[in-house]
């Protein structure tokens, strides 16, 4: 399988390492910065280097493209590849807005090429453990989730609205949003209310946010996002599930179930170490890319695919609108 990479930043290197670990052929790299592209190519043994996805598609036959560029490039690069029949895994957030996400899905539908969105926490062993165990909690009435950086935040294009579309919420909060939705069984959003703001740095994007999402299964998710925060109640994608029969959480990952017979609470430990040696280990990205490759081989629509990414983008759009207007947004 020949795979190409759009983007040469931190996360693109993680995906390229995953491709090497899986024994794929790293066929090409795309970036407008020659120095960065040359360094990336040298590190991963990629000689075919292009300034645009269109130029790469004209000259090099690849089976798949991983898009890890700034958010404003996600839609045009993905659509170009899909139209050429190339399968795409695109980084989160899927696009700048839901309209772009719709265009990406339409391109995938028309061409028959597969589209996957890299919501990586769906491939984490602890997230999968909690999802498997969550039935023991009974009906989930609410969740809490966190996508927060403390005493740190990104720079560059991440902090510029024209390139990123949003700030900490689309960078970090979307991890908490998608993880909650995954653990709830991918319900549809009914309403969104949010307050997003910029308090810690001089950006034109948000560095602080809180969000409430009502889902069509009756659950409500509370989500915190942020950069440069003085404190966080847990690491990236930490999620708590409040069920009618018990409580479950990630990081540290466990269940707490009432034991009526013995009149006590039973803690069911997951067996995973906390804190983890690496919170976002390479193995999680290896598993994610391996799943994408298997979907391509079987021509099986991936999950998280364009549909999941689109729903997240609809919530993102609603969150920014709610914050601007002070109103609940109904979807």
Give the closest residue to 4 by CA, choosing from 88, 85, 126, 91. Answer: 88
pLDDT at 189: 98
d(CA 181, CA 127): 12
Distances (CA, A) of 73 to 68, 102, 144, 169, 246: 9, 15, 31, 18, 43
Q: What's the angle, vertex CA 321, arms to CA 316 and CA 325, rounded to 5?
A: 150
Give the closest residue to 134 by CA, choosing from 182, 89, 87. Answer: 182
d(CA 82, CA 52): 15
Domain ranges of the chain: 2-120+285-304, 122-277+312-330
Structurally, at CATH architecture level, domain 2-120+285-304 sits in 3-Layer(aba) Sandwich (3.40)
Contacts of 145 (CB under 8 A, 6+ apart): 176, 177, 179, 180, 221, 222, 223, 224, 237, 238, 239, 240
Q: What is the pTM of this model?
A: 0.97
Domain 122-277+312-330 has CATH 3.30.360.10: yes
Convert the pLDDT of each residue in 247-261 to its tens digit. Answer: 999 999 999 999 999
Q: How confident is the model at residue 77 (pLDDT cuts 50, 70, 90)?
A: very high
DSSP class of residue 170 equals: I
Answer for the pair 229, 200: CB distance below 8 angstroms, yes or no: yes
Convert the pLDDT of each residue in 23-48 to its tens digit. Answer: 999 999 999 999 999 999 999 999 99
Answer for the pair 161, 205: CB distance below 8 angstroms, yes or no: yes
pLDDT at 139: 98
- Domain 122-277+312-330 in the same topology as domain 2-120+285-304: no
Q: How confident is the model at residue 215 (pLDDT cuts 50, 70, 90)?
A: very high
- For residue 227, with 0-12 CB atoms within 10 Å meaning exposed, 13-18 middle and 19 or more buried, which class applies? buried
Q: How confident is the model at residue 132 (pLDDT cuts 50, 70, 90)?
A: very high
């Amino acid at each position: 399988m020949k795979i190409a990479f759009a983007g040469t930043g931190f996360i693109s290197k993680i995906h390229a390492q995953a491709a090497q670990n899986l024994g794929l052929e790293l066929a090409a790299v795309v970036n407008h910065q020659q120095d960065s592209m040359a360094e990336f190519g040298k590190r991963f043994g990629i000689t075919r280097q292009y300034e645009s996805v269109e130029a790469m598609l004209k000259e090099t036959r690849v089976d798949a493209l991983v898009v890890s560029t700034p958010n404003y490039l996600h839609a045009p690069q993905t659509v170009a590849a899909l139209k050429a029949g190339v399968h795409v895994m695109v980084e989160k957030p899927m696009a700048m807005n839901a309209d772009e996400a719709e265009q990406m899905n339409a391109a995938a539908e028309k061409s028959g090429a597969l589209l996957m969105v890299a919501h990586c926490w769906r491939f984490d062993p602890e997230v999968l453990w909690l999802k498997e165990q969550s039935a023991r909690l009974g009906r989930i009435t609410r969740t809490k989730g966190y996508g927060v950086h403390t005493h740190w935040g990104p720079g560059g294009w991440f902090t510029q609205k024209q390139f990123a579309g949003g700030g900490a919420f689309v960078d970090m909060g979307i991890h908490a949003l998608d993880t909650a939705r995954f653990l709830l069984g991918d319900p549809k959003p009914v309403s969104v209310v949010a307050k997003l703001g910029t308090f810690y740095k001089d950006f034109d994007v948000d560095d602080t946010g809180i969000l409430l999402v009502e889902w069509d299964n009756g659950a409500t998710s509370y989500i915190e996002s942020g950069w440069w925060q003085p404190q966080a109640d847990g690491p990236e994608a930490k999620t708590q599930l409040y069920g009618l029969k018990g409580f479950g959480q990630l990081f540290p990952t466990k269940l707490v179930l009432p034991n009526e017979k013995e009149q006590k609470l039973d803690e069911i430990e997951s067996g995973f170490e906390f804190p983890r040696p690496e919170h976002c280990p390479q193995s999680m990205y290896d598993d994610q890319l391996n799943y994408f490759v298997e979907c391509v081989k079987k021509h099986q629509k991936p999950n998280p695919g364009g549909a999941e990414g689109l729903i997240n983008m609809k919530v993102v759009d609603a969150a920014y609108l709610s914050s601007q207007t002070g109103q609940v947004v109904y979807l």
